Amino acid sequence: MPFGKKKILSPGWREANITDVEYLFALEKLCFPDSYWSKDGIESHIKSYSAWLRDEFGYMFFLDLGEEAELLRIGILPSQRRKGEAKLILHRLCFAFQRVFLEVSNFNVSAIELYSSFGFREIGRRKNYYAFGDDAIIMEWSSRLDS
- Identify the residue with better confidence: 108 or 89: 108
How many contiguous H segments (helices) and E segments (strands) does the chain have?
4, 7
Residue 90 covered by a domain:
yes
- State the pTM of this model: 0.84
- Identify the residue with better confidence: 96 or 3: 96
Report the side by side order of strands in the sheet with 50-54: 14-15, 50-54, 58-64, 68-76, 99-105, 136-142, 121-126
Please write the tens of the pLDDT for every residue from 121-131.
Answer: 999 999 999 88
Domain CATH number, residue 71: 3.40.630.30
Give the Cα separation of 18 and 10 in Å (integer).
21
Residue 147 covered by a domain:
no
Domain count, the chain: 1
Per-residue pLDDT at 95? 81
Q: 68 is in which domain, residue-wise?
A: 6-142
Residue 19 covered by a domain:
yes
Residue 1 covered by a domain:
no
Contact 137, 147 (CB under 8 A): no
